[in-house]
Amino acid sequence: MYYFPDSPRQQKQRRTLVAEIRRKGIADERVLEAIGRVPRHLFMSAGYSEDAYVDSAFPIGEGQTISQPYTVAYQTALLQVEPGQRVLEIGSGSGYQAAVLGAMGAAVYSVERIAALYHRLATQPWRPLYPDVHFYYGDGNEGLPQEAPFDRVLITAAAPDWSDVLLEQLLPGGCLVLPFDNGGAHQQMLRLWKEEGGVRREAFGFFSFVPLRRGVE
Ligand code: SAH
């Protein structure tokens, strides 16, 4: 058993957050249950832990953010992930989205392009809770050839396009979920299914993400 700081007050705030996300339209019980279990206060940057159960994005340094819980729930629900599936995440950031997928029983391979954020992930107190969540330093546009293929691919930054490499690293029948940046103020969530005849595209609501960039820093 691994113990981590999680007070009755934080547990109560988490239940309230789950109720709020449910009210906003997330109906997938497995996703809601995972959000209800992952201690988001451990993923916040110094000075923000009091805001952990506010349904907003918050700064994590390096100009990046921990995603809004509703957005995490929305993307996770679209992924339709089953226990044991292999998921590639592009944009580790705080690690919160990766942990939610890990809490649902997925094997998660998450790539981050900013070295300072990547190195911070190594020492986080929540790491022992999610033994099948793995972090990598690199440009997620290239996928993760050494761990491919994946059942699911998730991009958590505003993507102006997606490389064929990502679709190649996706198993047939799998899907890629991404916030698509067509130059407007908000990004439309897309889900691309890799099917025998090609790629089937579905479009969903609009969100606001930090940009997907090229290369590493
Ligand atoms: N999933 C994160 C969200 C972080 S914000 C969370 O739950 O906290 C998006 C992240 O994507 C940022 O950390 C940013 O540095 C990273 N990113 C942007 N472009 C990337 C790329 N090409 N490869 C890997 N990570 C990228």
Q: How far is the CA of 98 from the centre of ligand 1 (A)?
A: 11
**How far apart (Å, rounded) are the C-alpha atoms in residues 118 and 16?**
31
88 ligand 1 Cβ < 6 A? no
Structural domain total, the chain: 1
The pLDDT of residue 1 is above 70: no
What pLDDT was estimated at residue 2?
75
CATH number at residue 134: 3.40.50.150
Domain that holds residue 164: 8-207
Residue 215 lies in a domain: no
The residue among 217, 172, 177, 59 whose CA lies nearest residue 51 is 59
In contact, 133 and 98? CB cutoff 8 Å: yes
What pLDDT was estimated at residue 76?
99
Q: How far is the CA of 25 from the centre of ligand 1 (A)?
A: 25
Condensed to tens digits (0 to 9), the pLDDT of residues 119-151 reads 999 999 999 999 999 999 999 999 999 999 999
93 ligand 1 Cβ < 6 A? yes
Q: How far is the CA of 212 from the centre of ligand 1 (A)?
A: 7
pLDDT-derived band at 50 (thresholds 50, 70, 90) equals very high
**How far apart (Å, rounded) are the C-alpha atoms in residues 190 and 106?**
21
Mean pLDDT in the chain?
A: 97
Residue 213 lies in a domain: no
Q: What angle do CA 53, 95, 131 make, to 5 degrees?
A: 110
pLDDT-derived band at 4 (thresholds 50, 70, 90) equals confident
Residue 2 lies in a domain: no
**How far apart (Å, rounded) are the C-alpha atoms in residues 154 and 104?**
15
Average pLDDT over residues 183-204: 97
67 is catalytic: yes
- Alpha helix (H) residue ranges in 123-190: 164-168
Residue 140 lies in a domain: yes
Residue 127 lies in a domain: yes
117 ligand 1 Cβ < 6 A? yes
Residue 179 lies in a domain: yes
